Amino acid sequence: MNDLKLEDIAKLAGVSRSTVSRVVNASPNVGAATRKRVEKIIQTTGYHPNAAARSLASQRTNMIGLVIPRTTSAFFTDPYFPHLTQGVAFACNNHHMTLSLFLVGNQEDENEITPRLLRRGMLDGILLQSGNSDDMLFRRLISSHVPLLVLGRPFEEKSVNYIDVDNILAAKNATSHLIRLGYQRIGMITGAIRSTTSIDRQAGFKQAMAEAGKTIDPSLIVEGDFSENSGYVAMKKLLPFRPDAIFAQSDVMAIGAMRAVQEAGLQIPKDVAFVGFDDLPVASTLPIKLTTVHQPITHFGIKAVDLLIDMIEKGTKPAKRMILDAELIIRDSCGGNSNNRPIVQGVEFEGSALKAPA
């Protein structure tokens, strides 16, 4: 019904294409009367500018890509990603940007997707979920011209822009809480062992233990992959070693582990206490409400988009990081529900510093 182009509107309004273009793009250099007339015609005709033509001429597509690499196991079975996607999508709406989603399922997908990502005239910028290792895709992306922001600390930080939560500090707080509660045999179920996320959370765990002067029993650390089932399996392995508390690196793994504990006829938190990570909505509706680290996931997505758009508009600057805080939420599964502490605001800054001031 409307195959009209700028020129048609111009003709109808008795002005030039340039003027219509100015009206459409809200340029200030248009007379009030002219603007009104043109706007009315656009209204009545239902004209919409052609996106491709506009992109070609302006070198801007107003699209950003969200790339979830294949090394990220189980991206959409873990509620983390939907929440993240939601935050990103909403932020895009606010910026009048369109979000393209690239789910890299396997090597074939990667080969197919990479050129699309690298094409000019396609994406103004890219949000890349940090994967289990800095793979080929990662490298090709950082060495390309496209403004790139990595979600989560990458392996190779050198001169790449990224945003992350303070996993080390958060994991340390979670572990310290368990220590403070007097647990003696504290175990950990890790996430995918090769992800920086998991590495950082392990580091936090170890720091807390070290500072409390506690030695770590290696048999109390078992590898998971962030999935519910891996938590279940990990707990089965852990049970014979009689842990009295578990720090699970994701809520979903904590849920799987709790399932294993209950199947073994043990009580939570009496026999085994739990702290998770993420604070998914489900954490507070479980039969035994989960003590966990709150990640501001949606907010994280929003911040990421804001940062990326900044990069796009001001040109990519040298390494810029943003580290958000993640606060422990105390509920029932840790056996010490009392003082819920308020959620601390994330702190924003640039430059070489790695962590936000507490």
Partner DNA sequence: GTGAAAGCGCTAACAG
Partner DNA sequence: CTGTTAGCGCTTTCAC
**Residue count (the chain):** 358
Is there a contact between 90 and 304 (Cβ–Cβ < 8 Å)?
no
Which segment (15-23, 30-38, 101-109, 204-212) binds a second copy by CB under 8 A? 101-109
Task: For 13-33, give the DSSP string.
Answer: HTS-HHHHHHHHTT-S-S-HH
101 lies in the site for a second copy, by CB under 8 A: yes
The residues in 2-41 that bind DNA, with binding defined as CB under 7 A, are 3, 5-7, 14-19, 21-22, 24-25, 28-35
**Which one of 15, 23, 89, 305 is in contact with a second copy (CB under 8 A)?**
89
* Contacts to a second copy from residues 243-272, by CB under 8 A: 256, 259, 262-263
| Binding span for a second copy by CB under 8 A among 7-15, 78-86, 164-172, 176-184 | 78-86
Question: From DNA, a second copy, none, which one binds at residue 282 (CB under 5 to 8 Å depending on kind)?
Answer: a second copy
Instruction: Give the integer Cα–Cα distance in Å for 268 and 253.
Output: 15
Q: Which of residues 20-49 bind a second copy (CB under 8 A)?
A: 48-49
CB of 270 to a second copy, least distance (A): 19
Residue (61 or 190) nearer to DNA, CB: 61
Q: Does 143 bind a second copy (CB under 8 A)?
A: yes
What's the rounded Cα separation, in Å, for the pair 283 and 293? Answer: 10
Q: What span, in angstroms and rounded, lies between the C-alpha atoms of 158 and 218?
A: 32
Q: Could you say which of 49, 86, 100, 347 contacts DNA (CB under 7 A)?
A: 49
- Measured CA to CA, the distance from residue 223 to residue 273 in angstroms comes to 18
- Name the helix (H) or strand (E) containing 221: strand 221-223
SS3 at position 116: helix
Which tokens sit at 210?
């070290």
53 binds DNA (CB under 7 A): yes
Quickly count: other Cβ atoms within 10 Å of residue 213's Cβ.
Answer: 7
Shortest distance (Å) from residue 198 CB to DNA: 41
Instruction: Write the CB contacts of 102 (distance below 8 Å, at least 6 apart in sequence).
Output: 65, 66, 67, 68, 113, 116, 117
Residue with smaller CB distance to a second copy, 122 or 319: 122
Q: Does 228 bind a second copy (CB under 8 A)?
A: yes
CB closer to a second copy, 120 vs 139: 120
Applying CB under 7 A, the site for DNA has a residue count of 33
Q: Residue 289: exposed, middle, or buried by beta-carbon count in 10 A (0-12, 13-18, 19+)?
A: middle
Stated as kind and residue range, the H or E segment containing 321 is: strand 321-324
Tell me the three state secondary structure of residue 111. helix
50 lies in the binding site for DNA (CB under 7 A): yes
Among DNA, a second copy, none, partner that 232 touches (CB below 5 to 8 angstroms by kind): a second copy
Give DSSP secondary structure letters for 40-51. Answer: HHHHHHT----H
96: left (phi over 0), alpha (psi -120 to 50) or beta: left
- Minimum CB distance to DNA smaller for 19 or for 176: 19
Strands, sheet with 291-294, edge to edge from the N-terminal-most edge strand? 221-223, 186-190, 245-248, 273-278, 291-294, 327-329
122 binds a second copy (CB under 8 A): yes
Binding mask 73-112 for DNA (x = CB under 7 A): ----------------------------------------
Residues of this chain that interact with DNA (CB under 7 A) are 3, 5-7, 14-19, 21-22, 24-25, 28-35, 49-50, 53-54, 56-60, 120-121
Residues of this chain that interact with a second copy (CB under 8 A) are 1-3, 48-56, 61, 63, 76-77, 79, 81-83, 85-86, 89-90, 93, 96, 98-103, 105, 108-109, 112-113, 115-116, 118-122, 143-145, 228-229, 232, 256, 259, 262-263, 281-282, 285, 287
